[in-house]
Amino acid sequence: MAQEYRHMVAIGSSFAAGPGIEPVVEPAAMRSGSNYAHLVAEALGAELVDVSVSGATTATILSEVQKTPRKRFAPQIESVSAETDLVTVTAGGNDLGYLGSVLSQGLMNRFSTTPVVGSAVRGMQRRRDLVLPDDARLQGAADGLARIVEQTRARAPRATVVLVDYLPLFDEVDAASGVLGFSPVQIRHFRRIARLLSDAYAHAAAATGAELIAASSYPSGHGVASADPWIAPLQPLRRLGGSMHPNAAGMRAVASQILAHLQELP
């Protein structure tokens, strides 16, 4: 690694923030002190400004105040300064409603088996189609990621910008057999959305020349129901925020890939 990184900014939504992973350093953002950005900064010996917020969209990163039940967060891009030399970005999933739809479906599956509301929930499920994001939303996510890169470079011209896409929630085998209450049909649907989101990252990287960490292409064997999962399973309601997100092992895997990629840069 020819360049030394001293001033790092981490931008993103929950897959960057690390909900459910101890220690929690910003409860309102559901941000962990052991997310991939903290691990990378520690390894590099870099000062870190982590502004990732669970629920963020590309719009709240770029220009809109993000309102959470406990706090308001300024647009994350404002934390990038001229001295910033490394920026990581994981966002776009909320633009497509990706994790929200996974959690919603998981809860419906869970409640469909309960004696009190199960019948009503099963009726709702029969009337509810699994719908892929339309072309406008997909293009919006890709464009939003590209604008984040462009605005980052406008603020920090010498910064290395790394787009980090989403770890897979489910392995290929899950799509055949179903897992943890999700049916094979549901899993195949969510895997399709994940591929569309990965395509948005690829388009944004190609359009801007940003570095790309394709966490979505990591080998099988680490899905939510695997023997060595990198994804946390669906949790009880009081801990729902960390469900179906990278666990500590997943964050370590992403951090390792980022560090290896930086090592290869001229």
The answer to whether residue 180 is domain-embedded is: no
- pLDDT (mean) for 257-265: 96
Strands 31-32 and 24-26: antiparallel
The answer to whether residue 203 is domain-embedded is: yes
Q: What is the pLDDT of residues 86-134, one digit of tens each?
A: 999 999 999 999 999 998 888 777 756 666 655 655 556 555 678 899 9
The share of the chain scoring above pLDDT 90, in percent, equals 73
The answer to whether residue 106 is domain-embedded is: no
Q: Count Cα atoms within 13 angstroms, Cβ side, for 264.
A: 9
Q: Which residues contact 165 (CB under 8 A, 6 or more apart)?
A: 90, 197, 198, 201, 212, 213, 214, 215, 216
CB 139 within 8 A of CB 96: no
Angle at 95 between CA 92 and CA 101, to 5 degrees: 105
B/e letters for 45-67, b = 16+ CB within 10 Å, e = fewer, are: ebebbbbbbbbbbbbbbbeeebe
User: What integer pLDDT is reported at residue 113 of this predicted model?
Assistant: 62
- Distance of alpha carbon 59 from alpha carbon 236, whole angstroms: 30
The DSSP output letter for 46 is: -
Q: What is the largest CA-CA distance in the chain?
A: 62
More confident call, 52 vs 227: 52
The identity of residue 203, as a single letter, is H
Going by pLDDT thresholds of 50, 70 and 90, the confidence category of residue 221 is confident
The answer to whether residue 252 is domain-embedded is: yes
The answer to whether residue 178 is domain-embedded is: no
**Number of domains comprising the chain:** 1
Q: What is the pLDDT of residues 25-38, one digit of tens each?
A: 999 999 999 999 99
Q: Which residues contact 163 (CB under 8 A, 6 or more apart)?
A: 89, 90, 145, 149, 201, 204, 205, 210, 211, 212, 213
CATH number, domain of 71, equals 3.40.50.1110
- pLDDT (mean) for 143-161: 98
Q: What is the pLDDT of residues 162-220, one digit of tens each?
A: 999 999 999 876 665 556 678 888 899 999 999 999 999 999 999 999 999 999 998 88
The answer to whether residue 49 is domain-embedded is: yes
Structural domain span for residue 71: 7-96+135-171+195-264
The answer to whether residue 54 is domain-embedded is: yes
The answer to whether residue 213 is domain-embedded is: yes
User: What integer pLDDT is reported at residue 264 of this predicted model?
Assistant: 95
Task: Note the pTM of the prediction, 2 decimals.
Answer: 0.92
User: What integer pLDDT is reported at residue 125 of this predicted model?
Assistant: 58
- pLDDT (mean) for 224-234: 90
What φ, ψ does residue 89 adopt, rounded to 5°? -135, 120
